[in-house]
Structure 1
Amino acid sequence: MDDLLITHDQDLGAGEAHLHQDVTLARVVQTSGGCPSQWDAWTTRGQYLYLRYRHGEGTVEQHPSEDVATWDGEESRLWTSWDDGTNSGQIELTDFLGMAGLRLAPDAEVHTTPPIDPRV
């Protein structure tokens, strides 16, 4: 029989910092379809996130707004980053969200752009 074990003293490592953050996205706007793949995103609480994937590396950054002039203040920080080893510049939003530990709200507004065709 498997019992649920709850421990209050367990160290959750890097994931603990994000334990109480809103990871549900209400709105996502793709700003580049590839090389890099990137999106502007807002959580259900209105927090702006910049999502970027280039050379197989994904990052999620928190900033006060989508205005890059606001990105140098104390409210800006790196949420998470990873390298999938592919050196790719394109990724689907659903795959990115899975790697980043983010999810879409059931009624999320999502705007995408077509991927860049390297033959053009």
Structure 2
Amino acid sequence: MTIARVVRACRSGPSQWDAWTTTGQYLYLRYRHGEGSVERHPDQSTGTWDGEESILWARWDDGTDGDSIALTDFLAMAGLRLAPDAEVHTTPPIDPKA
């Protein structure tokens, strides 16, 4: 799968990103305690994540028990790649409620 847009979801561990493929599919990327996962969901709203369209697309354990990983390393482990013109946001959006 090719990623067209990726946004870092939080400032600290675990490493998490919201991502969209070149076909518009939403993916939730997470790395915690050395375990990486890619979940496919209908959209970014967590209220939609329990339906039939949600699946665990990939999962792995690198044996490090780490909570931080570079996006490029995560994508390589997950078998994903960035589109040449991908929009990448490495700083999470500011929460207006904070």
- TM-score after normalising by structure 2: 0.91
Alignment of 1:74-89 (within 5 A): 74-89=52-67
Partner of 1:49: 27
Kindly indicate whether residue 65 of structure 2 is the aligned counterpart of residue 65 of structure 1: no
| Larger RCO, structures 1/2 (Cα 8 Å, 6+ apart) | 2
Compare CA radii of gyration and give the structure with the larger one.
1
- Per residue, is there more strand in 1 or in 2? 2
- Specify which of 66, 77, 94 is matched with residue 99 of structure 1: 77
1:57–1:82 contact (8 Å) kept in structure 2: yes
3-state SS, counterpart of residue 40 of structure 1: strand
CA distance in 1, matches of 2:40, 2:30: 12
Gaps of at least 5 residues in structure 2 are: 93-98
Gaps of at least 5 residues in structure 1 are: 1-22, 115-120
1:33–1:90 contact (8 Å) kept in structure 2: no
Q: What is the aligned-residue identity percentage?
A: 73
- For the aligned residue pairs, the C-alpha RMSD in angstroms reads 1.0
1:30–1:113 contact (8 Å) kept in structure 2: yes
